């Protein structure tokens, strides 16, 4: 329950910030162009807070936190007195109206730059993209990549961390080949060409590099116990720190992953655990505990294995000064914008499945998880969603800013506005498409919750 509340709170904060900046972009440019703004609302529906400013604008927060709007004086919907017609939206030139409409998405892009600038000023704890294992029979396995190998670039795009590797491979979806440059164990730079002509993203919610067969480096995990939780099934059975698990119920298990899977597969069951303690092999009967995760029962023992420390050479902090941080923030924002456009194109062509679309539930989960990791990670998530919101709003669909810009572009060429009848029909078609996409995204969220 606390996790749900946390995710919901992070979601509301995220959406509130993004919507406020988006609508402020429209508001600010409208005022600069001499348009009277009647209402500035964060959220839809009935207002839960209102205040009328000295400028005559009603500022409000509404009940449904799934968007917002700026209502401007417009002769097409308002009875405008003769002395205020020059303040109406429709009285302005095509260029001014286009600037007002485009200001919302532009505000989202500027917000992303500022947020990422702040993130890089604070510093982002990161790990180098070192490949620890290559999945057999995968796309990556075809080039016989040595391990450990640090990925330096993908298709010429520098990759400092795994997030950048993920984004670089996402940008390569649909291509015939991907060029991978790595540093091998002897620190020699080597380049490989991956055949990705048959690679597509399905409905798996995994990073692109995992789908290709790259597994990030993980320190060695041993079968020796480094921690026994107080009050756990392990403690009740007398297991101790330093015990080495050899097997369960007579089955020898050499890897911790095998032991973990065997424990999870035995909720509430009595299991004989073979251990090595101070050179002696003994058998300890244990009644496994059980936990329910997303409707599934799993066994648990209450122990942690001994692990090797993560190499300090693989850790680093992405931190920059005021000027370099701003440049890096702008560069990262541009890369996200390009990637967003490319992914929309790949959704249209079928290179990426529509099952990859995410709705408000997935966004809420992402907001909650990133916020729980810390401020810098939440800022990165906020920037990503802000860029996506800006790009989506620029799609040439009626009801979106991009649709309005399309009509204004046609008006600028024809020197005549598109008829209200055509606009009305377009809005209905555009609305149906948007609601269909929303329905797919929400159904994807529900299916993920049920899995």
Phi-psi region of 295 (alpha: psi -120 to 50; beta: other; left: phi over 0): left
The b/e string for 169-200 (b: 16+ C-beta within 10 A; e otherwise) is bbbbbbeeebebbbbeeeeeeeebebebeebe
**Of 68, 66, 64, 16, which Cα lies nearest the Cα of 39?**
68
Q: Kindly calculate the radius of gyration of the chain based on its CA atoms and give it in whole angstroms.
A: 28
**Dihedral class, residue 156 (left if φ above 0, else alpha if ψ from -120 to 50, else beta):** left
Strands of 294-442 (E only): list them: 296-300, 303-307, 315-318
- 3-class SS at 139? coil
Kindly tell me the burial class for residue 251, based on how many C-beta atoms sit within 10 Å of its own C-beta (0-12, 13-18, 19 or more): exposed
294 is catalytic: no
Peptide bond into 148 cis (omega under 30): yes
**What count of other Cβ atoms lies within 10 Å of the Cβ of residue 266?**
20
409: Cβ contacts below 8 Å, ≥ 6 apart? 98
Answer for the pair 410, 418: CB distance below 8 angstroms, yes or no.
yes
Q: Per the residue annotation, which of 3, 23, 296, 308 is the catalytic one?
A: 23
> Active-site residue numbers?
23
């Amino acid at each position: 329950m606390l996790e749900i509340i946390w995710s919901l709170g992070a979601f509301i904060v995220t959406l509130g910030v993004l919507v406020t900046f988006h609508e402020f972009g429209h508001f600010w440019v409208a005022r600069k162009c001499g348009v009277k703004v009647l209402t500035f609302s964060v959220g839809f529906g009935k207002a839960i807070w209102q205040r009328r400013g000295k400028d005559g604008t009603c500022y409000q927060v509404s009940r449904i936190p799934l968007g917002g709007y700026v209502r401007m004086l417009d002769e097409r919907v308002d009875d405008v007195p003769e002395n205020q017609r020059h303040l109406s939206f429709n009285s302005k030139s095509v260029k001014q109206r286009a600037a007002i409409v485009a200001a919302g998405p532009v505000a989202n892009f500027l917000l992303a730059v500022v947020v990422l600038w702040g993130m890089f000023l604070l510093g982002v704890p990161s790990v180098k993209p070192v490949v620890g294992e290559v999945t057999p029979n995968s796309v990556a396995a075809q080039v016989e990549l040595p391990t450990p190998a640090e990925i330096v670039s993908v298709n010429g795009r520098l990759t400092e961390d795994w997030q950048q590797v993920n984004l670089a491979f996402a940008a390569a979806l649909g291509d015939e080949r991907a060029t991978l440059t790595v540093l091998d164990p002897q620190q020699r730079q080597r380049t490989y060409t991956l055949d990705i002509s048959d690679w597509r993203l399905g409905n798996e919610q995994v990073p692109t590099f995992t789908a290709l067969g790259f597994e990030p480096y993980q320190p060695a995990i041993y079968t020796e116990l480094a921690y026994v939780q107080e009050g756990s099934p392990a403690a009740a059975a007398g297991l101790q720190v330093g015990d080495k698990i050899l097997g369960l119920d007579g089955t020898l298990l050499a890897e911790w992953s095998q032991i973990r899977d065997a424990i999870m597969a035995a909720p509430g069951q009595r299991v004989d655990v073979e251990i090595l303690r101070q050179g002696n092999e003994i058998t300890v009967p244990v009644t496994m505990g059980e936990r329910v995760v997303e409707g599934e029962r799993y066994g648990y023992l209450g122990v942690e294995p001994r692990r090797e420390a993560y190499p300090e050479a693989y850790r680093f902090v992405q931190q920059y000064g005021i000027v370099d941080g701003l440049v890096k923030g702008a560069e990262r924002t541009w890369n996200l914008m390009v990637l967003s456009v490319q992914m929309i194109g790949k959704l249209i062509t079928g290179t990426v499945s529509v099952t990859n679309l995410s709705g408000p539930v997935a966004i809420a989960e992402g907001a909650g998880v990133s916020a729980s990791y810390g401020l810098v990670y939440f800022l990165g998530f906020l920037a990503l969603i802000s860029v996506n919101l800006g790009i989506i709003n620029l799609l040439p669909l009626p009801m979106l800013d991009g649709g309005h810009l399309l009509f204004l572009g046609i008006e600028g060429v024809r020197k005549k506005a598109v008829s209200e009848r055509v606009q009305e029909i377009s809005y209905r078609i555009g609305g149906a498409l948007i609601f269909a996409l929303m329905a797919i995204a929400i159904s994807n969220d529900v299916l993920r919750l049920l899995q």
